[in-house]
Chains A and B, each alone.
Chain A
Amino acid sequence: MTREEIIEKVNNLLSEEFEVDLGELTPDANIKETLALDSLSLVDLVALVQQNYKIKIPVADLPSIQTFNDLYNYIESHLPA
């Protein structure tokens, strides 16, 4: 899967799940603010990544994912070979 494909799919999933316009999902935007995530709905972000990419994001890794770019990077680097 190319990075462009990851970005397109992740954005579509997030836009549908959190009901935010695709246009708002820019690489440097803050994920929590853009998707209006609180401590509860952050679990949905973790579940969405797990269910679609089989990647479990440990709680300890969450602080490193601030922007959408951080999320794309995390998924790209953790995809099964």
Chain B
Amino acid sequence: MKRRVVITGMGIWSCLGNTLDEVRDALYTGKSGIVFSQARKDAGFRSALCAQVAQADLKPYVARSMRQFMPEEAQYAYMATRAALEHARIDQDFLDRHEVGLIFGNDSTAEATMHGLDKFREFKDTSACGSGAIFQSMNSTVTMSLACIFKLRGINLTTSAACASGSHSIGLASLLIRDGLQDCIVCGGAQEANMYSVASFDGIQAFSLRENEPTKACRPFDRDRDGLVPGGGAAAVILESYEHAVKRGAPILAEVVGWGFSGNGAHISTPNVAGPARSLELCLRNGEMTPKEIGYINAHATSTRAGDGQEALAIAQIFGDYKVPVTSTKSQTGHEMWMAGTSELIYSMLMMKHGFIAGNINFEHPDEDTACINILPETREIHFDTFLSNSFGFGGTNSTLIVKNM
């Protein structure tokens, strides 16, 4: 028998805030987390725009002997996970007595890898890398660190699927719980926010050049969009079977009712309509939902010319005459990449729980592709009980989640 999968806790470390309340307020007021970085300009970036993410200080919580294995993204992930567990009322005693799993999306460890290898090259000696380098430079650095810190004994897995990583992690976790293989899984996404992680991304001219107006630079769906803005941080959610959550008296926030995915099987960076459309279709079918039951779509739209238009066409193809409200919170956060699938689920949850849809800031004029969907440019107080969240990535990997209020 398939079991229901519920969300019982959320935690986030983002450019919009480091608590759920801060992030909710920032979403409501349309605050932008984007800044101009002189350090990036001086280093040779074409676009020095980025999200401003606070450094995480783990010293009060995690011993040096463990922190040495944790790069920036693992530190963000720790803070988000710690908050999510607390939100779900799960303490260390519970983790010690139950088998809890861990699935996080992550797809780079650029800075840590660079630092380790720089030392190796400078001293021509592998031990100069230091003991933390190997653990920090593996893609699974987040899950290996968190599993050891929180003593997690269930599934221990990193999903690497480019900018859909943090959505696939939730999708996979929901299947494992639905099929009874796990009762509770910590899942999320983490994204390093340092300049080295996106230097080569800047090199392919993917970033906005609107450096004189940082808060207006990220403008998903807008006619005058000219590229994305890189962001970072981490987000975590606690997934459980409904029965498990009820049994332990957990706060049940919402239900993950559907997961859909697809591959474009086409170009490595240029998206298409067919792939995302199939992800949307599968998600609706898997969740036994009709388009009209969806009250809000949190779009993947990153503010690139090619991507936003294709996504708009895919949404229009599936939703037809039903003009479901659509926004991209990347207008405020920039592109949180490996983290985005989870962070945007949390942003949407905060909206759903507080009765509003955060406006797609900087959306002023549609173009011929984006005019086919209902994009809300300003925050509106709207009650909705079900939302859909899209995440798409390089290589044509697509993931879609549907979440229902409880």
Contacts and interface: CB of A to CB of B under 8 A. Distances in A.
Q: A and B bound?
A: yes
A43 B125 contact: no
A36 B125 CA distance: 24
A47 B65 contact: no
B68 A44 contact: yes
Interface stretch (B98-106, B128-136, B263-271, B363-371): B128-136
Given A47-B119, A51-B119, A36 B65 contact: yes
Contact of B130 (A18, A38, A43, A56): A43
Interface string B115-127: 0000100010101
Contacts of A44: 68, 130-132
A50 B132 CA distance: 16
Interface in A18-46: 18-19, 36, 38, 40-44, 46
Interface residues of B, number: 13
- Name the prevailing secondary structure of the A interface residues: helix
Contacts of A56: 123, 125
Interface in B184-230: none
Contact of B131 (A19, A36, A40): A40
Contacts of B59: 19
Nearest to B135: A40
Contacts of B65: 36, 38, 41
B248 interface: no
Contacts of A36: 65
B130 A47 contact: yes
Interface in B62-100: 64-65, 68
Contact of B128 (A19, A38, A41, A47): A47
A41 B125 contact: no
B123 A43 contact: no
Contacts of B125: 50, 56
5 contacts: A19-B64, A44-B130, A44-B132, A47-B127, A47-B130
Interface of A: 18-19, 36, 38, 40-44, 46-47, 50-51, 56
Given A44-B68, A44-B130, A50-B123, 6 more contacts: A36-B65, A40-B131, A43-B130, A46-B127, A47-B131, A51-B119
